[in-house]
Amino acid sequence: MLHASALAPAPQHVAVIMDGNRRWARERGLPIAEGYRRGVDSLRATVRAAARAGVRRVTVYGFSTENWQRESGEVGLLMGLYAACAHAERPHLVRQGVRVEVVGDLERFPFPARAALRDLTETTRHNTRVTLALALNYSGRSEIVRAVRAVAADVQAGRLALDAVDEAALRERMYAPHAPDPELLIRTGAEHRISNFLLYQLAYTELLTLPIMWPDFDETHFDEALAAFAQRQRRYGC
């Protein structure tokens, strides 16, 4: 295998749709919880590989607004997993220089998960090696609507002139205005859609879908994704 670093510089921002945890567990006759637990291992490996490759930001789709429609027991399982992992992973993330951000609206999360995640972001906020952005209770359409409402409110209040409304004004009111657009989107699980993820930011992102389920994703797969990206000729427009 040709390593990505031998081809071209790594992308600075990689987005990931971590699909296939439930299918992976069901195909093996295992509890769904085991699929999610193994998915955490895959995320840990992804962050390690990204830091080693020089990727500066990884944004992962952890929980969409549509996921609230899942069975209540599974949602409760995920909320408990977020709280537990935020506590357990904190020392490792600090040692590795990983800064954690949350992209989305945590207000609907139960207090233990919400508090643990906010504590994690605060504890790691000075780390600079790589940023792990967790898209939680996130919707690309809702993010755009939220930004448009903020622009409209600022225009109505006289804080922003109507002729000053442009792409920059909209971006400034999104969840992570400081973040560059992803250059590469990786989706596992063999699906070929973006599922309401970073709709504004993915305008010119290279898309890579993989047939493997997320719990099987490891550092080698991440390296191979970067190598595939390095071979593409990026174009803007049609």
Q: Is residue 6 part of a domain?
A: no
Catalytic residue among 19, 21, 137, 223: 19
pTM: 0.94
Looking at the structure of the chain, the number of domains it has is: 1
- Judged by phi (left if over 0) then psi (alpha if -120 to 50, else beta), residue 24 lies in alpha
Q: Is residue 40 part of a domain?
A: yes
Res 178 pLDDT > 60: yes
Two tokens, residue 181: 């657009």
* CATH code, domain with 197: 3.40.1180.10
The Cα–Cα gap between 70 and 74 comes to 7
Summarised one tens digit per residue, pLDDT across range 140-160 is 999 999 999 999 999 999 999
Q: How many CB atoms lie within 10 A of CB 152?
A: 12
Could you confirm whether 127 is annotated as catalytic? no
Least confident of 1-5, 61-65, 129-133, 174-178: 1-5
Single-letter amino acid, residue 88: A
Q: Is residue 217 part of a domain?
A: yes
154 DSSP β-pair partners: none
List helix spans (H) across the chain: 21-27, 32-53, 72-96, 111-123, 140-156, 167-171, 219-230
Q: Is residue 238 part of a domain?
A: no
- What b/e string do you get for 200-213 counting C-beta neighbours within 10 Å, with b at 16 or more? ebbeebbebebebb
Summarised one tens digit per residue, pLDDT across range 72-127 is 999 999 999 999 999 999 999 999 999 999 999 999 999 999 999 999 999 999 99
Residues 89, 43 contacting (CB under 8 angstroms): no
Q: Is residue 5 part of a domain?
A: no
Catalytic residue among 21, 41, 67, 119: 67
- 3-state SS of 67-95 is HHHCCHHHHHHHHHHHHHHHHHHHHHHHH
Q: How confident is the model at residue 2 (pLDDT cuts 50, 70, 90)?
A: very low
Two tokens, residue 160: 């922003």
102: three-class secondary structure by DSSP: strand
Q: Is residue 201 part of a domain?
A: yes
Q: Is residue 7 part of a domain?
A: no
User: What would you report as the CA-atom Rg of the chain, rounded to the nearest whole angstrom?
Assistant: 18
pLDDT at 9: 81
- Residue-range definition of the domain harbouring residue 168: 12-230
Could you confirm whether 218 is annotated as catalytic? no
The Cα–Cα gap between 120 and 118 comes to 5
44: three-class secondary structure by DSSP: helix
Res 1 pLDDT > 80: no
